[in-house]
Structure formats: C-alpha cells, structure tokens
Structure 1
C-alpha cells in the first residue's frame, strides 16, 4: 500500500519540483501565465502557456519599450512583453507589450504612433500622464491600452513579471483550474484535480505494470524454448 501511494504521489511531486526549479531560475511566482485572450495574437494565442521572469532578473534585467533604441525582440516584435495588474480595475492581470515610458504630466501622444491612437491628448483620459509609467498595447488590438481605455498608464510597481517565451496550448489546464476555483472554490478544486491526478497516475501505473509483466513472461517463454 505504501508503494502504491508513493507511485500515485510521484507525478504530482515531480510537477511541483519542476515548478519550484523554474520559479527559482525565473525569480517569479507563479513562473507561468496562461493566456486567456487573443490580444497578443498571432505569436501568442489563447490557451498558450507563457514562461515569465522577474523584471530585474539577470540577464533579462530592465524594461525596454518597442519604440526605444536597442529594444529586444519578444514574440516576433520589438519591446518587452510584461504582465501587469492595475490595482483598481477589477480585471485579471494583462499580458501586453511596452510601447515607451512616460513621465508625470507628459503629453505622450506627441511621440506616439498615430495609427495606435483614437483622438488626441484632450480626448484621452490617460493623457497627460497622471504619473510616471509605461504606455502599453496588445499586438492584435491595434490601439494603445491607454487610448482604448483598457488600462491607465502602467506604474512600474504594477508590473509583476516579464515574458520570455510561450508554449502552445499548455495553458488550457491552468485556465480550467482558475475557472474551477472561481466557480467552486480552492478546496473543492484541489480535491477534484488531486483525485483526478491520483486516478490517472494509478491507471498509468497499472497499465505499465501489466506491460512489464507481459514482456517478462514473453522473455521467459523465449528463454525456455531455447533451453529445450
């Protein structure tokens, strides 16, 4: 019974160990973000899993906007892609690209791309900039977040992580877990997914054991035939 329990818990422990190691390297927790919208398509699609790091983590330290000289290429375009969470908007964290930094009181539309603006500074609530921060946008949105009213000028302290790369479709599990937590609560979700993992691990262990036993019998039969 102890061996069976260890076999059931081993996959979960391995997943947890991988997550802890990735978090230690990335300097962010959780070290993964599940994408819930298509605002960063086509490079990052809904359901993708994005690996993130702390914004000051070597060798990826600092934040650089798309309009700045020497901007890194992330997801096929210039500029860092960040995860930020404005404290008062009631939305889930946003994964978007930095356009450029702004300072308190600046009319940032003077150096913005006109194609990503809907109006001028007099018609945009986030202009002039109410504080130091960053102008951001989703690659597929075609407008700055601050022009579209998606987010205010992003303060640096709202930024929780910087994106490194994405893995297609691996985020659906995380999205499913988050949806279950929102509907059922943390404890029922943990029990449900833990039970599912245990059952899956148990079936896998039984199947592997039968395959191994059948192979052993086959090998034994072959050796017996040769001996005769």
Structure 2
C-alpha cells in the first residue's frame, strides 16, 4: 500500500517541484497564468498557459509601454504584457499590454492612439489621470481599457507579474478548476478533482504494473 501510495503521489510531487523551481527563477507565484478570455488573441488564446515573472526580475526589470521607443516585443507586438489586479469587487486579474505611463492630472488622450480611443478627456472617467499609473489594452479589444471602462488607470502596485511566453492549450485544466469552484465552491471542486486525479493515477499505476508484470513473465520464459 505504501509503495502504491508513493507511486500515486510521485507525479504530483514532481509537478509541485517543477512549479517551485520555475517560481524561484521567475520570482512570481504562481509562475503560470491560465488565460480565460480572448482579449489578447490571436497570439494568446483562451486556454493557453502563460509563464510570468516578477516585474523587477533580472534581466526583464522595469515596465515598458508600447508607445516607448525601442519597446521590447511580447506576443508579437511592442510593449510589456502584465497581469494586474484592480481592487474592484468581483473583478478577476487582467492580463493586458501596457500602452504608456501617465502622471496624475494628465490629459493622456493627447498621447493616445486615436484608433484605440473612444471619446475625449471630457467623456472618459479615467481622464485626467487621477494618479500616476499606466494606460493598458487588450490586443484583440481595439480600445484602451480606460476608454472602454474595463479598468481605471492601472497603479504600479496593482501589477503582480510580467508575461514572458505562452504555451498553447495547457491552461484548460486551470480554467476548468476555476469554473468548478465558481459553480460549486472550493471544497466540492477540490474533492471532485482530487478523486479524478486519484482514479486516473490508480488506473495508470495498474496499467503500468500489468505491463511490467508481462515483461517480467516474458523474461522468465526466455530464460
């Protein structure tokens, strides 16, 4: 029983160790973000898994907006893509691209791309900028978050991570877990996924055990 239990737990422990190592290198926890919307399509689609790092981690230190000269490319376009968590009740973290930095009291529409702007400073709640921060947007949205009312000016302390690269489709499990938690709660979801993982591991161990037994049987007959 101890041996079987160890065999079932080994894959989970290995995954946890990999996550811990990646987090230590990236300087962020969790070091992965599951994409839940298509706002960064086509480079990042719903269900992708994005590897993230701390915003001040070497050699990716600092935040650079798309409008800045020499801005690094992330997901095929200029500017850093960041994960930020507005303090609004019920709003999940957002992963969007930084357009440019703004200062308190600034009419930032003067520097905005007209193609990403709906209205002027008189009609946009986030203008003039009420404090120092960043204007952001989703690549697929076609409008600044602050113009569309998706988010206020993003304070630097709201930014929790910087995106590095995406792995297609590996985030669906996380998306499924979040959906299950939202529907039935944390404990029932944990029991359900835990039971599924245990059953999958048990069947896998049984299958591999039978293969090993057959192989040993063939070896003994060959002798």
In structure 2, the partner of 1:157 is: 157
Query: Does residue 42 of structure 1 match 2:42?
Result: yes
SS at match of 2:122: helix
In structure 2, the partner of 1:54 is: 54
Q: How far off is 1:183 after superposition? A: 2.1
Per-residue displacement from partner, 1:10-52 (whole Å, max 9, x unpaired)?
Answer: 1111111111111111111111111111000000000111111
Query: Does residue 17 of structure 1 match 2:31?
Result: no
Q: How far off is 1:72 after superposition? A: 0.8
In structure 2, the partner of 1:205 is: 205
Query: Does residue 192 of structure 1 match 2:196?
Result: no
In structure 2, the partner of 1:137 is: 137
Q: Distance in 2 between matches of 1:38 and 1:82?
A: 15
In structure 2, the partner of 1:29 is: 29
In structure 1, the partner of 2:63 is: 63
Q: How far off is 1:139 after superposition? A: 0.3
Query: Does residue 111 of structure 1 match 2:114?
Result: no
* Gap regions ≥5 residues in structure 2: none
Please say if residues 38 and 140 of structure 1, whose CA atoms lie closer than 8 Å, have aligned partners that are also in contact. Answer: yes
How many residue pairs get matched? 223
Q: How far off is 1:79 after superposition? A: 0.3
Q: How far off is 1:115 after superposition? A: 0.6
Q: Which has the larger radius of gyration?
A: 1
Q: State how 1:178-189 maps to structure 2 within 5 Å.
A: 178-189=178-189
In structure 2, the partner of 1:72 is: 72
TM-score under structure 2 normalisation? 0.96
SS at match of 1:122: coil
Q: Which runs of 4+ in 1 moved over 4 A?
A: none
TM-score under structure 1 normalisation? 0.94
Please say if residues 12 and 197 of structure 1, whose CA atoms lie closer than 8 Å, have aligned partners that are also in contact. Answer: no
In structure 1, the partner of 2:173 is: 173
SS at match of 1:192: helix
SS at match of 1:121: coil
Q: Distance in 2 between matches of 1:73 and 1:181?
A: 35
Q: How far off is 1:120 after superposition? A: 1.2
In structure 2, the partner of 1:123 is: 123
Q: CA RMSD in A?
A: 1.1
